[in-house]
Structure formats: C-alpha cells, structure tokens
Amino acid sequence: MKTVPEYFGSMVFNDVTMRARLPKETYKALKKTMRDGKKLDPQIANIVANAMKDWAIEKGVTHFSHWFQPMTGVTAEKHDSFISPFGEDGVIMEFSGKELVRGEPDASSLPSGGIRSTYEARGYTTWDPTSYAFIKDNVLCIPTAFCSYNGEALDKKTPLLRSMECISKQALRVVKLFGNENVTTVKTTVGPEQEYFLIDKKYYDKRIDLQYCERTLFGAAPPKGQELEDHYYGTISPRVSAFMAELDKELWKLGVLAKTEHNETAPAQFELAPIFTTANISCDHNQITMELMKKLAPKHGMVCLLHEKPFAGVNGSGKHNNWSLTTNLGDNLLEPGETPHENAQFLLFLCAIIRAVDDYQELLRISIASAANDRRLGNSEAPPAVVSIFLGDEITAILDSIESGTAYEQSDKKQLKVGVHTLPRFPKDNTDRNRTSPLAFTGNKFEFRMVGSNDSIADANIVLNTTIAESLRVYADKLEGADNFADALHELIKNEIKEHKRIIFGGNSYDDEWAKLAAQRGLACLQTTPDAIARFLDEKNIALFETHKVFSKAEMVARHRLMSERYCKVINIESKTMVEMLQRDLMPAISKYSLEMSKAADYFKTPDETKFGYENSVAVKLRTLLDDVYILVDELDKRIRTVEAIEDITKRTFGYKDRIIPLMDRIRIYIDEAETLTAREYWPYPTYGEILSGC
C-alpha cells in the first residue's frame, strides 16, 4: 500500500511531473509563463500537450476536458477523446497545443447576464497555466478561463486572475518603497475552511424540500439540538470517519492540501480546512472539494448538504476565507515583524485593508449575498450582515496611540512614530477569534467569515483583492513623490486611522446596541440580498473595477442581472416547493389525523354529548391550524404568480423579499406547531430529530 507522500498529487500534472517529462528548455519556458503570465509560444504548447497526453494515457485516460467555472457558481466540463482517425480503420491518440490552449464549448445555455444572446452559442475556454491540469473521473481536466466571442468574462476565474494581477501591481509599488527591490510578485493566499452537513440518504430521499432546495422548509425543533455543545470537536462516528478518510485520499491524489477535519457545532455538521495556497489554485481546489463531498457521500449511504442554512434553529454553514498577501520571496506582508521597517510596512498594509473595507463595505456584503446566506447571517456564530473589522485589543491600542500621538502603554512610554520607534512584536495568535466579526485579524491573516458554504470563494476574493489594490494605489501615489518618506508615511498612517476607524469594532456584533452604533457611524446596514445587490452598480464601484481592469461596466451589469435572477429563482423554487408539500402531503396528513382524533373524541364523549380531553383538544387545534394554513397557502400561490410577472428584475427581487418570504415564514410557524401535535405515523416527512441524529 502506498503512503500519502507517494500518492499525493499522483493525479496532477504538477511541477515534479513536468520537470520529469518536459525538455529542460520547455520546462523553463512554461515556468516563466506560470510565474510572469507571459503568452506561451505555440511550439512550446505542442510539446506540453503531448507530454500531458502521454502522462494521462499511462494512467488509463482516454478523454480530456477544458474544466471551467461559469457564473453558475459550480464547474462545467465537456469531454473530448484523444482519438484521431489513422488510415482506413485505425485511430491514434493525439492532443495538440491548440487543443490544450483553447476550446470552444457550446455555451448558449450557460448564464451570461445578457452579455450574449441565447442564440449565440460560441464561447471560448482558455488554458490557465497557473493552475495544474489533473485527472478526475478518468478524464484529463485542464483548468481554463471562459469568455465570450468579444472577450467578456463569462466565468469566476477570469476576474479573479485579473484581481490578483492588479493587487500584485499595486503591492509591488508599496513594498519597493521600503527597499524590497528583490520582490517581483505579490500573491494573495487563501485557506477556505469548508463547513457542511452529512445526513442519511434514506431521510433525504423522503424530503422533496431537501431534494429541490437543499434546505428544509418545515421542521419542528427536536428535543435535543446543539444545546449541550457536545458535537463540536466530538468523537467522529465510524460512518463519517470512513467518508472523511476516502475524501482525504481522493483530495490528496488531486494535490488538494486537505489538512484538518472535525465535528462542527451543530449535529450532523462537519468541517474540512486546507493549507493556504494562492487564491486561484485555492478556488479551484475548493470547487473540487465540494464536488467530491457531494460525489462520495452516497457511497457511504449519506448525502452532503452545502446549503448555508439547511436546518432552522442550529448553526448554518459558512466558508471562512482566510486571506493574506505573500511576496515571491515568501514574506507574509501581514506579519508584523520585529523592526521599525517591518512594523511600518505591516501598518501600511493593515491600513490599506481597513480603508478598503470601509470604503467598499457594500461590495464585500454583495460578494457573499445569496438567499441562502441571508438565513445564516446574524445568528448561531455566523457574523451579522453589517460589515466591520476586528483587530484585537493590542493592535487597536497601537492604532489609537498613533492617531492621538500619545504613548502606547506597553512601549517605552515614548510617542509612537511609525518607522522610528520599534513597535512590539505581535505573536501570531495575539487576537481572540471574535466569532461574531465579519472580518477578523488573526495574527498574520484576515478571516472573512461571511462567505457562504455553497459559494465560490472567487467573488469574495475578487472584491478583497481589488478594493485593497485601490488603497495601495492611493498610498503609492502619495508616497512615491514624498520629499521625506518617513514623515509622509507617519502622517499617512495617522490620517488613515482617523478617517476609517469607524469600521473597526471589537465587541459583540450580535448585540442590538451594535446595530444602532453602526447606523450612527454611517455603516451600510444591508440586511438582505436585494438590499445589497441594488448597490452593485453604484458609480464608485464601476469606477473601481474599471480602473483596475477587473470588470468592465458591461460585465458588471451582467453580473448584477445574474445575481438578481438567481435570488428570484431560488425563492421561486422554494415557494413552489412549499406549496406542493402543503397541498399534496402536509395538509392531507394534518386533516387525516385531525379527523381520527375527532372520531376518538366522539367515541369518548360523555352521556350529555360533551367532548373534552386530549383527543378533542388536539382535533380542534389541528383543525384551526389547518384552516389558517389553507387561507395562507392560497394567498402564497397567488402572490407567487403576481411576483413572477414583475418585469423589472430589481423590483422582482424585492417582491420575493417583501411578499413571498414573510408569508413562507409565517406558514412554517403553523406547520411546525402542527408537527408537534400529530402522531409520528401520520407525519409524511422525517423529522429534525431523525435527520440530525442519523449519521
């Protein structure tokens, strides 16, 4: 049996494989392309393609695919075989550089947000050499970008790569001001912690809400949920442990750095955390991770749920996006350092992040907005919808002392001047991980906790990269022409702290007082997805993305439409599923049991015809609930048709938010109460108690 080091990356055309299989000059040329983003010579592409094909065929592969990430949020692929005709009756296995570098899938049915008409089928996939090709399901998968005939981005990868280029460009300008002349690139590194639920497949198969919506539309709270806090870090059950072991093995074969796994807070909830890697590769790996979770769970008699809030009353699932900046020399720019020079550089990058989050808090909220995440944010350890930053007591105190020009208590009582007096060495874990903070500094990185478990991490990192790049651009413009760099730097940091400190909050973000304080500070309080995405096309946001060439205005308009349409479609599916469950299963079940209890009440009535006791009480309660639900479900059905007919997409999103969701939530209250009154054998769906304790 092979050990992990022996099979790790065995299904990846990685650096070790390329070095062994490519001619020396070809290998150097390809590495230069990967490092500098330069165009690859067609002859080099042919050599790489042939080596890649030979390697894949040796592993039993017969097909290749351009693997891309359209704006659906999941991945897409079209499989083509290596075979080409040879002679009259034979075939040979071929794979050209042209096939490696470029593909042309029929993409008419993939969402474009209006960039391309549905009858315009042509779309192009272009090889991303910065992300290694890999073998999945016996197919050679080549990570690619996806664009329209006119070059507009139709995917998540292209703008992510653009954002990585723009932050590298601006960060380089800043680090060189501190004398770091050997730095040639700065990369964003990300480690996304993936939360998920595992439930028994037999229960999943009996609930159409889980099948259609991946969340339960009804379900009374079980007697035991997460109150005892005994699931978090608890012993992993043998069934789940077997799933995790297979998942790890398959991920390791694909070079995914799966590191940590454990029980999460809610029953049936778990987490997988990888080791940090560059944002682009991390995004690819996270998509692979989610796909494998879904694919492997049924082999163990389970179903993996990645929905942000599949069960009411217990923790939802997020994807904590741990973000940092690293130079090509391996230096983490969010590491505070030990010298004045390092401290000053750290503080400037820290201020760049604070400024970015303050100036573009709406964009950060938009980057994680979805109908599902709306139900998760603001409770059960999920951060609230209001964006803020947590820095910890020590760093906050240092920033305060710089702003005020007073002595920092733990220093030598001298006034702190950036770049002159050495700031204290910050240990890596000098901050408590504030579980209620949307964005928390955790020693040498920022943890963006608002990202939903089912989301692509591309959107959040595009916004983080671009907004922070804008801060760095402003700083470089000011400092590059300064007469006295040290004085200009000190004044810049001091002014930035004063200007943007409103976004810093170290308390309990669940507290009602924080909501009031945030409003007083002028922070954006965008509680729902329609509220958030209505701000996407603000002039300053368009200017930001166009300045850094991450999105054109047309690409932003398309994404705004797609976000709006997705929200509407999700709520439409949920509301129609609710109506079907009520009319075909739940209302008949409640009626049937109510009738049985009414008959029992008749049987037990007193000689004077008085009905009393348990049977009559239950029958009357259920009948009353059923009558109320009957009126409400009829109203819901009418509202669905009315909202569906709204032509303006923005007005339609608010129609679903204001007219459909509140009515659905109201109906659920009645049905969940009816569940607690109805005998188990009459209830048509597995209960929360059964589902959450099934694995």
Tokens found for residue 333 = 């720019």
Tokens found for residue 85 = 């005709």
Question: What percentage of the chain carries pLDDT values higher than 90?
Answer: 71
205-221 burial, b at 16+ Cβ within 10 Å, e below that, comes to: eebebbebbbbbbbbbb
Q: Residue ranges of the alpha helices (H) in 512-648?
A: 512-521, 529-533, 539-547, 553-581, 587-603, 613-644
Question: What percentage of the chain carries pLDDT values higher than 70?
Answer: 92
Q: What is the mean pLDDT of the segment spanning 661-677?
A: 97
pLDDT at residue 612 tops 80? no
Lowest mean pLDDT among 16-30, 47-61, 470-484, 599-613: 599-613
pLDDT at residue 559 tops 50? yes
Of 353 and 426, more confident: 353
Comparing CA positions, the residue from 259, 233, 232 lying closest to residue 244 is 259
Residue 412 pLDDT level (bands cut at 50, 70, 90) = very low
Give yes or no for a contact between 61 and 139, defined as CB atoms under 8 angstroms apart.
Answer: yes
How many C-beta atoms surround the C-beta of residue 645 within 10 A? Answer: 9
Distance CA 555, CA 11 (A): 35
pLDDT at residue 109 tops 60? yes
Q: Residue ranges of the alpha helices (H) in 37-186?
A: 42-58, 97-101, 157-177
pLDDT of residue 111: 75
Distance CA 657, CA 371 (A): 9
pLDDT of residue 120: 62
Give the three-state DSSP class for 300. Answer: helix
Distance CA 482, CA 488 (A): 6
Place of tokens 């779309």: 123
pLDDT of residue 91: 82
Domain made up of 4-155: CATH architecture: Roll (3.10)
pLDDT at residue 31 tops 90? no
Residue 432 pLDDT level (bands cut at 50, 70, 90) = low
The full set of domain ranges for the chain reads 4-155, 163-551, 566-692
Give yes or no for a contact between 376 and 317, defined as CB atoms under 8 angstroms apart.
Answer: yes
Long-range contact pairs involving 5-8 (C-beta distance under 8 Å, separation at least 24): 7/249, 7/252, 7/253, 8/252, 8/253, 8/255
pLDDT of residue 597: 92
pLDDT of residue 37: 64
pLDDT in tens, 160-202: 999 999 999 999 999 999 998 999 999 999 999 999 999 999 9
Query: Would the CATH topology of 163-551 be identical to that of 566-692?
Result: no
pLDDT of residue 411: 44
Strand partners, 102: 126
pLDDT of residue 415: 47
Count how many residues are written for the chain: 695
Give yes or no for a contact between 229 and 331, defined as CB atoms under 8 angstroms apart.
Answer: no
pLDDT at residue 34 tops 70? yes
Residue 204 pLDDT level (bands cut at 50, 70, 90) = very high
Question: Rounded to the nearest 10 degrees, how much is the dihedral formed by the CA atoms of 462, 466, 469, 473?
Answer: 160
> What type of residue sits at position 557?
V
> What type of residue sits at position 644?
E
pLDDT of residue 279: 96
Long-range contact pairs involving 600-606 (C-beta distance under 8 Å, separation at least 24): none
Task: Tell me the torsion sign for CA atoms 443, 444, 446, 452.
Answer: negative
pLDDT in tens, 528-539: 999 999 999 999
Tokens found for residue 442 = 């955790």
pLDDT of residue 417: 57
Comparing CA positions, the residue from 663, 531, 528, 626 lying closest to residue 217 is 663
Distance CA 78, CA 565 (A): 25
Q: What is the mean pLDDT of the segment spanning 441-446?
A: 89
pLDDT in tens, 214-236: 999 999 999 888 888 888 888 89
pLDDT of residue 425: 52
Distance CA 21, CA 51 (A): 6
Comparing CA positions, the residue from 119, 156, 115 lying closest to residue 554 is 115
680 DSSP assignment: G
Strand partners, 70: 155
- Kindly report the backbone phi and psi dihedral angles of residue 306, in degrees, each rounded to the nearest multiple of 5, phi listed first: -105, 5
Comparing CA positions, the residue from 312, 414, 322, 300 lying closest to residue 372 is 312
Chain center to CA of 204: 24
- Kindly report the backbone phi and psi dihedral angles of residue 578, in degrees, each rounded to the nearest multiple of 5, phi listed first: -60, -45
| For helices 42-58 and 24-36, angle between their N-to-C axes, nearest 10 degrees | 110
Tokens found for residue 299 = 């082999």
Residue 382 pLDDT level (bands cut at 50, 70, 90) = confident
pLDDT of residue 114: 77
pLDDT of residue 604: 73
Distance CA 531, CA 547 (A): 25
Q: What is the mean pLDDT of the segment spanning 671-694?
A: 95
pLDDT of residue 413: 44
How many C-beta atoms surround the C-beta of residue 647 within 10 A? Answer: 6
Place of tokens 């060439």: 549
CATH annotation of 163-551: 3.30.590.10
How many C-beta atoms surround the C-beta of residue 385 within 10 A? Answer: 24
pLDDT of residue 260: 94
Residue 695 pLDDT level (bands cut at 50, 70, 90) = confident
Of 116-120, 244-248, 340-344, 519-523, which has the strongest mean pLDDT?
244-248
Comparing CA positions, the residue from 21, 68, 81 lying closest to residue 48 is 21
Of 43 and 209, more confident: 209
Residue 421 pLDDT level (bands cut at 50, 70, 90) = very low
Distance CA 415, CA 406 (A): 5
Long-range contact pairs involving 89-97 (C-beta distance under 8 Å, separation at least 24): 93/53, 93/57, 93/62, 94/53, 95/49, 95/50, 95/52, 95/53, 95/64, 96/46, 96/49, 97/42, 97/43, 97/44, 97/45, 97/46, 97/47, 97/48, 97/49
Q: What is the mean pLDDT of the segment spanning 236-252?
A: 96
pLDDT of residue 434: 65
Give the three-state DSSP class for 89. Answer: coil
pLDDT of residue 278: 95
Residue 344 pLDDT level (bands cut at 50, 70, 90) = confident
- Kindly report the backbone phi and psi dihedral angles of residue 118, in degrees, each rounded to the nearest multiple of 5, phi listed first: -65, -25
Residue 420 pLDDT level (bands cut at 50, 70, 90) = very low
Q: What angle do CA 43, 47, 52 make, to 5 degrees?
A: 140
Long-range contact pairs involving 540-546 (C-beta distance under 8 Å, separation at least 24): 540/359, 540/360, 541/360, 541/362, 541/363, 544/360, 544/363, 544/466, 544/467, 544/470, 545/466
Of 371 and 44, more confident: 371
Average pLDDT of every residue of the chain: 90
Give yes or no for a contact between 455 and 73, defined as CB atoms under 8 angstroms apart.
Answer: yes
Distance CA 122, CA 124 (A): 7
- Kindly report the backbone phi and psi dihedral angles of residue 638, in degrees, each rounded to the nearest multiple of 5, phi listed first: -65, -45
Of 344 and 294, more confident: 294
CATH annotation of 566-692: 1.20.120.1560
Beta strand 319-327 with 446-448 is: antiparallel
